[in-house]
Amino acid sequence: MPEIERHRRLRASDADRDAVLTILHEAYVAGRLDLDDLTHRQEQALAARYIDQLPELVADVPEGHALDGRWVRPTRRRAKAPVAASNGAGWTATILTGRRIDLERGASVRNFALMGGDDIYLRDALGPGVVLTLELPAVLGGHSLHVPRGVRVVEETQAVAGGNSIRRSAQGDGSNGTLVLRGMLVLGGHTVKLDKRDR
């Protein structure tokens, strides 16, 4: 008789935890979780050491189905994990850290910030006639958005004890494009400032 393979627990990666945090935020924005549920489950996701601790955190919300098959034990070929996408840009998450992003023309960002935030430079992404929409929900964090002169900034975010800060020098007349900000902000927000190269 063939020997039965013993089940070994697999360690969770940062990408695994980030995927669950993104799903939890989407469920919160859709009204399926309240703030206490969101906070409790986020803490569990961040503390998870093993992959088998993660699926139960999103099993009761429809958004969790986007992760179906992500953690199936591989046989010979590993299936690709599904990626949520919109206009070619999938969701990413920035948690307790930050990085520099230089956005190019035609690209966009869908990023969930938790107690962290990125420096996003938009000089190459904007220009006359360009309307750029960024989906940037945040909890206890936020991004710094660096825009060129002449960009009109439109806020379509919803905030709970938070909000965006748009520097006066960064709010232009729209002659160099329009930046639209979307996403739920909870105890956080983004800062929009003039790119230092345009000062």
CA atoms of 42 and 20, how far apart (whole Å): 8
Q: What is the mean pLDDT of the chain?
A: 83
Q: Can you give the pTM of this predicted structure?
A: 0.57
pLDDT the model gives residue 4? 39
Three-state DSSP state, 115: coil
Count how many residues are written for the chain.
199
The torsion defined by the Cα of 162, 66, 81 and 54, in degrees rounded to 10, comes to: 70
More confident residue, 172 or 76: 172
CA atoms of 54 and 48, how far apart (whole Å): 7
Q: What is the pLDDT of residues 82-99, one digit of tens each?
A: 333 233 347 888 898 889
More confident residue, 81 or 8: 8
Q: Where are the domains of the chain?
A: 14-67, 85-198
